[in-house]
Chains A and B, each alone.
Chain A
Amino acid sequence: MESTSEASSTQHSVTTDAEAGVSGVSPSNATPLLSLRGVSKQFGAVQALRSVDLDIPNGQVTALIGDNGAGKSTLIKTISGIWAPSEGHLFWKGEEVHVHSPRDAARLGIATVYQDLALCDNLDIVQNLYLGREETDRGLLNEIKMELTTIQTLKDLSVSTVRSVRQLVGSLSGGQRQAVAVARAVMRDSQLVIMDEPTAALGVSQTAQVLGLIRTLAARGIAVLVISHNLIDVFSVADRVAVMYLGNLVSSGPAANYDTASAVELITTGETSRTATSVTSTQ
């Protein structure tokens, strides 16, 4: 059954950001930190992204959900500079930008925490946090400064279960490793932190730790974009939800506009006939 992404379908659907106007949906200040307009990505004959419009405001957690193959990973790789979009525009704080490499993204303030975390198990927490941007003192590594800053960063993120920052990362639990990966993103004064399936491999208490970390980031004014399969986690931490289906961004809006049933329907069919109980549909 063909599904269209036009909001002019007769179904009730939550408006996309493009229609509501850039400032229409988010309750915070005017311009979202990052806006995508008409972003498409083609790999040969495969259309991975189709004209995606998305707003990511700072100080809020945006959850990107969708089935496997819907284009979530492609979308974040486009934002973080690994792919350049085939079409479309990216706006950072209202101005158009071109992100051609991970370095460009890092310079804007975009940090990505990949699913495999990209940590070196044979190095300790301090060494991982500073990997690639070590502090030096006359050419030599300034271990003391790096160690002190690491301790402070972990404290600011309320990571309390790590006993020594000189522990090898390979000996940490899954939740602690996530925390280290997130701390590394935060230390770069990132303004947008993207996390790909951060709780996928974690148990209950570790998941709670990571979700708490995500909320702490948002409370500090950082924009967080989280990809997750786990709708429970999504609804416990997200301020906004964006749903992808077969390369289209079929729906986005405040998390209050969605519930589990409508989310599942959007994920699997691209449309929903339901609305969350507290909001009337807009058209």
Chain B
Amino acid sequence: MGLDSTTSSHPLVHQLKKIRQGDSGLLPILVGLAALVVYFQIRSSVFLSAGNITNLFVQATIFILLGMAEIWLLLIGEIDLSAGFNAGVGGAIAVILVDHQFHWPWFLALGLAMVVSMGIGIINGLLVILLRLPSFIVTLAGLLGLQGVLIYIVDRQGTGGVVSVQEKVLYNLVNGNLTPLWTWIVVVVLVVLSSIVMLRGDQKRRRGGLPGKPFFITVIKIVAMAVAGLLLVLVFNTNRSSFTHLSGMPFAIPIDLFVLGVGGFILAKTKPGRYLYAIGGNIEAARRAGINVNRYRLMAFGLTGLTAGIAGLLYVSRLVGISDGIEGGTYVLYAVAAAVIGGTSLFGGRGKMIHAVIGGLVIATIDNGMALIGLSAATQLIATALVLLAAVTVDSVARRASNNAR
């Protein structure tokens, strides 16, 4: 019978046991990411410069958000191929409404953009649920249709297929920073809060009479968080411009952390989140347990649209505008790749929001590093493809090993 998943002996031994049984979690990917970083730094000494790391993180935030958007649906065994252009349309709406002839206040324009994106997600969901169509086909149609909508909206502005952002809030989403002081405050608060939550959770378990996580592991996690936080602050607070002064954490990062926090919380601690995992694991079992599966499937589609909308806002902020030629198709593939590289299963039932973060960082690292060492576009594409294959293979082999160990 074999599997002993309680913490038996020393926690380190337990962790090694888990890896051997195939439940390696994030460890292999983190090791892979570290290897990539080392490689790129050797090939180009500017890789680990403050400016480049900041740039990499900002690039990553958009992949991460689109990855998180996909995870809502990947968990229930669906997919949204239109998410890239959904983001584009949302961003376009925001750009057009804040500037030019509309001049809406930023919160209305950005709010409407997010509502529209969520609505597009819900329409996808209604088509899938009511007409019982496969989400792959519905969202493929969405990809094509939304690309058309985007071109229509942008070209109608009469500015040659590109609309630029001049409004301050939208510009600052990605291009603006927290001051160095606030950077410290945000990171310290986050690390302290996370530590308190972890420790208190453990304390409640012990008081209830349940075995808590070994203290050792919690301490390591807190220390790792603190060290990572410290490094990030030091990197962001270093002046990264050679002719003027530019420092502090870009706003995009706290925005991403907020979405990560809310999304992760919903999945881990609420009934709707739990039901998404159930639907992805065995939809018939969920139905027989009395769960209204269609309600939660629709919710997932809506959340994907909403998260894509937020990604769209960051995207147009980074581009300082919207063009009718954005590569929404490629972006959505990167989004799915990010989720899968991070450990989310394409078949449903397995995944967490943090996977998008890891996967997004991996993809941004490859993107950034390869551009830095001057690889051609062709090489970059092939390399990214190989990384995706490698990640999925490692995961699949590990799962097969864990199934055989039963």
Chain A positions near chain B (C-beta within 8 angstroms): 102-103, 106, 114, 116, 118-123, 127, 131-134, 136, 139-141, 144-145, 147-148, 161, 163-164, 166-167, 171, 173
B281 to A120, Cβ gap below 8 A?
yes
A122 to B277, Cβ gap below 8 A?
yes
Name, among A116, A132, A141, A164, the residue most crowded by chain B CB atoms within 10 Å (CB to CB).
A132
Supposing A141-B274, A163-B5 touch, asked if A118 and B281 sit within 8 A by C-beta, the answer is no
Name, among A119, A144, A161, the residue most crowded by chain B CB atoms within 10 Å (CB to CB).
A144
The answer to whether the Cβ of B242 comes within 8 Å of any Cβ in the partner chain is no
B208 to A144, Cβ gap below 8 A?
yes
The answer to whether the Cβ of B288 comes within 8 Å of any Cβ in the partner chain is yes
The answer to whether the Cβ of B278 comes within 8 Å of any Cβ in the partner chain is yes
Contact of A120 among B210, B277, B290 (CB under 8 A): B277
Whole-angstrom distance between the alpha carbons of A161 and B1 in the complex? 9
Size category of the B interface is: 20 to 34
A122 to B280, Cβ gap below 8 A?
yes
Name, among B278, B284, B291, B350, the residue most crowded by chain A CB atoms within 10 Å (CB to CB).
B278
Supposing A122-B277, A122-B349 touch, asked if A164 and B209 sit within 8 A by C-beta, the answer is no
Query: Which residue of A has the minimal Cβ distance to B282?
Result: A120
Contacts of B204 in A (CB 8 A): 144
B349 to A134, Cβ gap below 8 A?
no
Whole-angstrom distance between the alpha carbons of A147 and B289 in the complex? 19
Contacts of B281 in A (CB 8 A): 120-123
The answer to whether the Cβ of B132 comes within 8 Å of any Cβ in the partner chain is no
Supposing A122-B281, A122-B349 touch, asked if A141 and B269 sit within 8 A by C-beta, the answer is yes
Supposing A120-B285, A122-B349 touch, asked if A167 and B210 sit within 8 A by C-beta, the answer is no
Contacts of A131 in B (CB 8 A): 278, 285-286, 289, 291
Provide 27 A-B residue pairs closer than 8 Å at the C-beta atoms, listed in order of the A residue.
A102-B288, A103-B290, A106-B290, A114-B288, A116-B284, A118-B284, A118-B285, A118-B288, A118-B289, A120-B349, A121-B349, A122-B280, A127-B277, A127-B278, A131-B285, A132-B289, A132-B291, A133-B290, A139-B270, A140-B270, A141-B274, A144-B210, A147-B210, A148-B210, A163-B6, A164-B6, A167-B5
Minimum Cβ distance to chain B for residue A204 (Å) = 15
B290 to A132, Cβ gap below 8 A?
yes
Whole-angstrom distance between the alpha carbons of A116 and B288 in the complex? 12
Whole-angstrom distance between the alpha carbons of A171 and B404 in the complex? 10
